[in-house]
């Protein structure tokens, strides 16, 4: 059985790959930061705190937006990393198979991590 550390390293790796993929689909969209909401940032901050991670805030009204976008690592803001609008997914060059595969791998890792955590509290 995979250890938590191994799974967590995989989580960091694959959420980064998913982020790179979605970021490249967005390109230079004028609506960058389109789906960001303070309540999502708050949820992300609370989840990280539960894992013992203190996220630094920026001075932007959305607490984690820096000069180059969100400063939270992709694996600590899962729903934000996964999100890509319908318009971007309709581009002729959009690789649906890769997007679905990366999402599948990420959610499988999350399930396994959750199973490990549940087994520990039993
Ligand atoms: S998800 Fe869509 S609207 Fe949002 S930044 Fe990307 S292309 Fe733009
Ligand atoms: S991407 Fe970053 S700034 Fe946007 S909602 Fe998620 S955590 Fe907040």
Give the bridge partners for 25, in sequence order: none
As given in the structure block, the two tokens for residue 96 are 């649906």
Q: Give this prediction's pTM.
A: 0.92
pLDDT of residue 28: 65
Cα 103 from Cα 83, distance rounded (Å)? 10
Q: What percent of the chain has pLDDT over 90?
A: 78
Could you give the angle at the alpha carbon of 60 between the alpha carbons of 20 and 71, nearest 5°?
25
> Which residue has better confidence, 119 or 48?
48
CA of 87 relative to ligand 1 center, distance in Å:
8
Contact 14, 99 (CB under 8 A): no
Closest C-alpha to ligand 2, atom 8: 41
Contact 11, 106 (CB under 8 A): yes
Q: Where are the chain's structural domains?
A: 4-121
Q: What is the pLDDT of residues 31-84, one digit of tens each?
A: 667 889 999 999 999 999 999 999 999 999 999 999 888 999 999 999 999 999
CA of 91 relative to ligand 2 center, distance in Å:
24
Cα 102 from Cα 59, distance rounded (Å)? 32
Closest C-alpha to ligand 1, atom 8: 29
pLDDT of residue 30: 61
Q: How far is CA 111 from each of CA 2, 15, 75, 122, rounded to the nearest angstrom?
A: 13, 14, 14, 17
The pLDDT confidence band at residue 16, using thresholds 50, 70 and 90, is very high
pLDDT of residue 1: 65
Token pair 């932007």: residue = 60
């Amino acid at each position: 059985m995979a250890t938590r550390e191994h799974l967590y390293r995989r989580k960091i790796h694959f959420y980064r790959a998913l982020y790179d993929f979605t970021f490249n689909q967005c390109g230079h969209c004028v609506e960058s930061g389109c789906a960001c909401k303070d309540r999502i940032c708050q949820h992300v901050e609370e989840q990280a705190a539960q894992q013992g991670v203190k996220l630094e805030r920026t001075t932007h009204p959305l607490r984690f937006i820096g000069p180059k976008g969100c400063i939270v690592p992709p694996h600590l803001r899962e729903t934000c990393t996964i999100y890509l609008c319908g318009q971007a997914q309709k581009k002729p060059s959009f690789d649906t198979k890769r997007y679905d595969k990366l999402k599948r791998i990420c959610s499988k890792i999350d399930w396994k991590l959750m199973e490990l955590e549940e087994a520990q509290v039993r």
